[in-house]
Structure formats: C-alpha cells, structure tokens
C-alpha cells in the first residue's frame, strides 16, 4: 500500500458512524434566514403597509408628490386613482400607487 492510499484511508470515517456536527449547516441557514427576516423583510413590509395606509387616507386638498416627480394638490379621489391639480387649470388622473408622499414632508427635511 502506498503512503497516499494509507493517508486517504486514514481520513475516511468508519463505516456506520455519523458526523458529530451534522446540524451545524442547517442551523447556520436558519440563522441567516432569521437575520434577513428581521433586518430586511419585516421593515420593508412595515414601510409598505404605512404607504398603503397613507394612500387610502388621501383627501381632497392634500399636497402630493408622484413617483414621476409631479407636485400637485388632489382635486378628486376615486377608488384606484386621484385627480391632481398641477396648476394652470391642468388636471391629471394619476393611479394611487404612483403617489409617494406629502410634499410638506419634503419641506421639513
């Protein structure tokens, strides 16, 4: 028997024995998932819920900013869209999902 074959056979576990740390990789993956949930998924869900509550509470006269950067004041609110007065007798129909925030929040920052 050569030395390499002898070293190879010495490194092999005995037949029928189980490794002592077989659950460590599984625990590591579960730990990574928990960290991702609490630091990434959960805050994003919370932010999305707040944005949906804001969009559902829009009223006539509120100042808004859209995802396209259009500033305006709400003239009319419907189920899925709002009519926004952007000045100069120009009114636009905008989907509620395109409304980002109140422009007064931007002025405070």
Is the Cα dihedral 10, 12, 15, 16 positive or negative?
positive
| pLDDT tens digit sequence for 7-34 | 666 665 555 555 567 788 888 999 999 9
**Percent above pLDDT 90 for the chain:** 64
pLDDT value of position 16: 56
- Indicate the CATH number for domain 59-109: 2.30.30.100
Percentages of the chain per state (helix, strand, coil), in multiples of 5: 45, 25, 30
């Amino acid at each position: 028997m050569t030395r390499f074959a002898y070293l190879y056979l010495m490194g092999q576990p005995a037949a029928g024995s189980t490794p002592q740390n077989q659950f460590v990789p599984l625990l590591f993956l579960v730990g990574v998932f928990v960290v991702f949930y609490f630091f990434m998924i959960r805050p994003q869900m919370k932010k999305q819920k707040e944005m949906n509550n804001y969009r559902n509470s829009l009223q006539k006269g509120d100042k808004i900013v859209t995802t396209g950067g259009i500033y305006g004041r709400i003239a009319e609110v419907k189920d899925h869209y709002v009519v926004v007065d952007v000045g100069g007798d120009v009114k636009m129909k905008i989907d509620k999902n395109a409304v980002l925030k109140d422009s007064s929040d931007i002025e405070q920052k």
